[in-house]
Amino acid sequence: MPPRKLYFENVRVGDELPAMAKAPIDRVQLARYAAATNDYNPLNVDEPAAKAVGMPSVVAPSTLGLGFLGQLVTDWARGGQVKKAQARFTRMLWPTDTLVCKGRVSDRWGEGGKYFVELDVWAENQKGELVVRGTVLLKVFYSFEDETRFRTGQPPLIVTVPRQSILAAPPPPPAPRPSVGKGTAKPGKAPTTKKPAAKKPAARTAPPKKAVKPAKKASKPAKKKK
C-alpha cells in the first residue's frame, strides 16, 4: 500500500489532529529510552538514587513526552517534513503516567511554491494536566500534482496563500491549565477586545486587527469561522 500523504490543499486552520493515547509509561520504557539516547541519568533509571534526592520514584526524561508529540505529528503529516519544533515542559513525567497527545492547525501559508503548516501540539496526563506543549512547522506539498511535479523535476505549483492567522481566528488552543507561574500568560500585548479577555491566548481569539501587513489579495479569502 502506498503511503498516505498529507497535502496542503486538504488542511484548514483549526483542523484537529486525531488525539493519540499512549500506553502508560513504565520503567522498561525508561530503560529502553535511556539506551536509545545513551543517557543514563540515574534519576531516570536508578530508583534508590531518585529516592535519595527526595523523589517518589524514578522520573521520566521530559524529552520522552516530546518524542510522543513527534509521533502525533508524523502520524498525521505523512509525506510532510518537520522543519521546526519547539516544546516547553510544564510538568514532570512519572512511571504509570498515561499521556494523550493532541494538536491543532494554527496556521498555513504558501509562497513561492513552498507550503507550510503550523501546529499547536500538547500532551496531557491522566489527570488532565498539561505536561508539554509546543509548536511544529511542517513543509508539505500543495497537492498530489505538486508532488508529482517535484518528483519529475518540474517547477512547483505556485499558489499564494497568505498566513491565515492574520485573516481569521481559529479557536484558541486548549487552556493550558494554570500551571502555576510557568509564565504562559503574556501580559502587555493583549489587543483591545470587546469582551474581557478571559482566555489566555487573546491574540488568537481577537478579531483580526488591521492586518499586520496588507495581505496579498488572497485567491480565496479565508472564511473559516467556528
Partner 1 sequence: MLDRSAVGRTTPPTLNEVERGAIRRFAEALGDYNPIYFDAEYARASGYANVAAPPSFPISFATGSDLRELVGVPARNLLLGEVSFEYERPIVAGDRLLVTSRVSEISDRAGPAGRVEVAVIEDEGRDEEGQIVFRARRSYVVRATREA
How remote is the C-alpha of 108 from its chain's centroid? 13
Binding mask 182-201 for partner 1 (x = CB under 8 A): x-------------------
Residue 142 makes contact with partner 1 by CB under 8 A: no
Residue 79 makes contact with partner 1 by CB under 8 A: yes
Give the footprint of partner 1 on residues 114-133 (CB under 8 A): none
The CB-side HSE value for 43 (13 A sphere, CA atoms) comes to 11
Per-residue HEC secondary structure of 59-108 comes to CECHHHHHHHHHHHHHHHCCCCEEEEEEEEECCCECCCCCCEEEEEEEEE
How remote is the C-alpha of 96 from its chain's centroid? 24
Residue 22 makes contact with partner 1 by CB under 8 A: yes
Give the footprint of partner 1 on residues 41-70 (CB under 8 A): 41-43, 52-54, 61-64, 66-68, 70
User: 20 or 222: whose CB is closer to partner 1?
Assistant: 20
List of residues 6+ apart from 51 with CB closer than 8 A: 57
- Interacting residue ranges for partner 1, rule: CB under 8 A: 2-3, 5, 22-23, 29, 32-33, 35-39, 41-43, 52-54, 61-64, 66-68, 70-71, 73-75, 78-79, 81-89, 136, 180-182
